[in-house]
Amino acid sequence: MTVPQFKLMFDAGRGSSKLTEVPRLLLTHGHLDHSSGVPYFISQRCLRRLPAADIFCPPELEDPLRKILQLWCEIEHYQMDYNLQPIDYDQLYPLQGSFFFKAVRTVHRVPSNGYVILEKTRKLKEEFKHLAGPEIARLKHERDDLFYEALRPTITFSGDTQIEFVLENEIVRQSKILFLECTYVSEDRPVERARKWGHTHLDEIAANAEAFRDVEHLFLIHFSPRYRNDVIRAALRKKLPDWLHEKTTPFLLS
């Protein structure tokens, strides 16, 4: 998935020449449906003589991914250029202007994390909110303690995870836009099976609907290919509260 305004994409499950110009890749984990397109992505950028891409990944993935990429260099008889960076969970990484991103651990079968894009803003301190606009404008010239710096989560991408990624992270629950995996939607694959494989079931989203109250738009992704699109839409209508269904969009195969 690409976010053009920030010149980045989340995961690269398959190679596509359309993604070559995206200079920043944020990997959530190493499963093939999320990372097998990485060598192709890098080689195509090298072929077009584009600057080395910045690739971020969970720390545990760095060493095996370097080995894989080096093997592809041997296969192609060409040394590919890339910047592979293990993510630091305490760090804010700059994007552009007042926007940054950070990684948040997810709960999956292998080391994994999601990513949150945040905007740095200045907010008026509570003790000054009762003042009229002209008074605040006057005080801005006399003192420098009227505002405090805040981080506003704008876009969150989960990758593969159990529901705990949402329930245990306020920064995720406060995101304006949340892309959340929802692998299973029906009773033939129950919640227990979803959790065993490190995934989220629609029943868990419905049962924890209040956790999504502050999310402005919820995009559900990563549906199992066993489900037809009409089955997914019907399940969402049936199981989600009306208020949550209204702001939920499923990412479906065409």
Per-residue pLDDT reduced to its tens digit, 105-159:
999 999 999 999 999 987 767 666 777 778 767 777 777 776 667 899 999 999 9
- On whether both 192 and 234 belong to a single domain, the answer is yes
Among residues 201, 208, 206, which one has the least CA distance to residue 242? 206
Scan for tokens 């919640």, then name that residue: 191
- On whether both 16 and 132 belong to a single domain, the answer is no
- On whether both 61 and 149 belong to a single domain, the answer is no
Q: Residue 101 pLDDT > 90, yes or no?
A: yes
- On whether both 164 and 75 belong to a single domain, the answer is no
Q: Residue 70 pLDDT > 90, yes or no?
A: yes
**How far apart (Å, rounded) are the C-alpha atoms in residues 21 and 55?**
13
Give the domain range for residue 76.
1-87
- On whether both 60 and 136 belong to a single domain, the answer is no
- On whether both 160 and 214 belong to a single domain, the answer is yes
pLDDT at 148 (0 to 100):
63
Percent of residues, the chain, with pLDDT higher than 70: 95
**How far apart (Å, rounded) are the C-alpha atoms in residues 87 and 58?**
6
pLDDT at 128 (0 to 100):
66
pLDDT at 38 (0 to 100):
96
pLDDT at 254 (0 to 100):
67
CB-based contacts of 105-108 (< 8 A; 24+ apart in sequence): 106/28, 106/29, 106/158, 106/159, 106/160, 106/161, 106/162, 106/165, 107/161, 107/162, 107/164, 107/165, 107/198, 108/29, 108/159, 108/160, 108/161, 108/162, 108/198, 108/199
Task: Spell out the residues 6+ positions from residue 20 whose beta carbon is closer than 8 angstroms to its own.
Answer: 41, 44, 45, 48, 50
pLDDT at 14 (0 to 100):
85
Q: What is the pTM of this model?
A: 0.91
- On whether both 24 and 105 belong to a single domain, the answer is no
Average pLDDT, the chain: 93
pLDDT at 130 (0 to 100):
76
Joined tokens for residue 173: 């629950």
pLDDT at 18 (0 to 100):
84
**How far apart (Å, rounded) are the C-alpha atoms in residues 75 and 70?**
9
Q: Residue 172 pLDDT > 80, yes or no?
A: yes
Among residues 56, 55, 48, which one has the least CA distance to residue 21? 48
Among residues 220, 123, 212, which one has the least CA distance to residue 175? 212
Domain termination residue (choose one: 87, 121, 141): 87
